[in-house]
A and B are shown apart, each in its own frame.
Chain A
Amino acid sequence: MLNAIWLGMILLGIAVAAMNGRIEVVTEATLSSARQAVEVCFELVGIMAFWLGLLKIAEKAGLVQFLAKLVRPFMVWLFPSIPADHPAMGAMIMNITANILGLGNAATPFGLKAMQELQVLNRHSEEASDAMCTFLALNTSCLTLLPATIIGVRAAAGSIAPTQIVGTTIFATACSMMVAIIADYIFRQLHRFIRSGR
């Protein structure tokens, strides 16, 4: 599916640009996007290093394990294929916590760390495991309590109540998280069924 979407975006983009007689736009967009991608990665380096450093301290001090124990029932229910005391659990919990608090920058390093731990347990290293799909579903739809960036934009635009959208945001994000968890469960069962039939 990713293959089709990727190729489709490129082909459709070139076709539309050609029809509009602005084919040079494609060249510009290609080169500037490629540069942008690398810039994003390098911006990540410092943040990644900082959070992973702090995470390591928390792990060695036993703090992550403590947090993991608190939410263990919930995590075991969501991730039946991951042993409850596996390091992946700790990283995933830290990632979800950072997401909930709206600390977007902090969430990514924990998320990437969690993926690495999940990859250790993955039997087909080029294919996403069930747990990885669940984690992604949870992550892309994660409950956010404080959408800090958009509150900033609203305040800058002179809103009389910049935080007025917090309630509606929590409602929308809760709905999407529920759908994500349910959809993930259904797809997982479906895939298992198809595989066992082969």
Chain B
Amino acid sequence: MVEILETVSRWAIPALLLTIPVYACFRGVPVYETFVEGAEEGFQTAVRIIPYLVGMFVAIGIFRASGAMALVSGMMQPLMSGLGVPAEVLPMAVMRPLSGSAALGLATELINHYGPDSFIGRLASTMQGSTDTTFFILTIYFGSVGVRQVRYALTVGLLADVTSLIASVYICNQLFR
């Protein structure tokens, strides 16, 4: 099963690159011109998200570097350990919705320190793989179209993150303890 998935993932891009233009060519689409036409939008979209991303990155950067992040995750610890979340992975869990690269860094540290096949290592891997960086997605997706009021989208995203954290702890306890 896993091998199949891995092969699919490895072949996905080459296969798309092969089938889409070839099929389009058969249908009489001018492939190169069409490609360029679509690609033009890419630059504008990327530039449009800069203000939103700067705002979000700066706030997260200050929050992390000042030690406020560590303070907050320390305060959350009693609550989280009640849910069975080990103290070691809590900083990573708190970081996950905020910054993808920072969370991956923390996960890598945990995996290297405790070993990839330890309980902590497997739990950190599961948590890292099962959630996405909610704040980043929210910022760039809404930013790219100029939406400033996000309504309940953030709440739902964070609820999903918490669910994924609890589900990871539960399933890892069932399978890897």
Chain A interface residues (CB < 8 Å from chain B): 1-2, 5-6, 9-10, 12-17, 20, 22, 25-26, 28-30, 32-34, 36-38, 40-42, 44-63, 101-103, 106, 108-109, 111-113, 115-116, 118-119, 122, 125-128, 132-133, 135-137, 139-142, 144-151, 153-154, 157-169, 171-173, 175-177, 179-180, 183-184, 187-188, 191
Asked if B85 lies at the interface with its beta carbon under 8 angstroms from chain A, I say: no
A-B contact pairs, 13 of them (CB 8 A): A30-B61, A32-B61, A41-B50, A47-B42, A48-B41, A49-B40, A58-B20, A112-B141, A122-B147, A128-B153, A132-B147, A133-B151, A188-B152
CB within 8 Å for A165 and B129 given contacts A9-B68, A13-B68: yes
Cα A46 to Cα B150 in complex, Å, equals 27
B29 touching A57 by the CB < 8 A rule?
Answer: yes
B147 touching A128 by the CB < 8 A rule?
Answer: yes
A168 touching B171 by the CB < 8 A rule?
Answer: yes
Chain B, interface residues (CB within 8 Å), range: 35 or more
CB within 8 Å for A57 and B20 given contacts A13-B62, A52-B41, A191-B152: yes
CB within 8 Å for A54 and B17 given contacts A103-B9, A172-B126: yes
Chain B interface residues (CB < 8 Å from chain A): 2, 5-6, 8-9, 12-13, 16-17, 20-21, 23-24, 27, 29, 31, 34-43, 45-47, 49-50, 53-68, 71-72, 104, 107-108, 111-112, 115-117, 121-122, 125-132, 134, 137-138, 140-142, 144-157, 159-161, 163-164, 167-168, 171-172, 175-176
A160 touching B117 by the CB < 8 A rule?
Answer: yes
B61 touching A136 by the CB < 8 A rule?
Answer: no
A52 touching B42 by the CB < 8 A rule?
Answer: yes
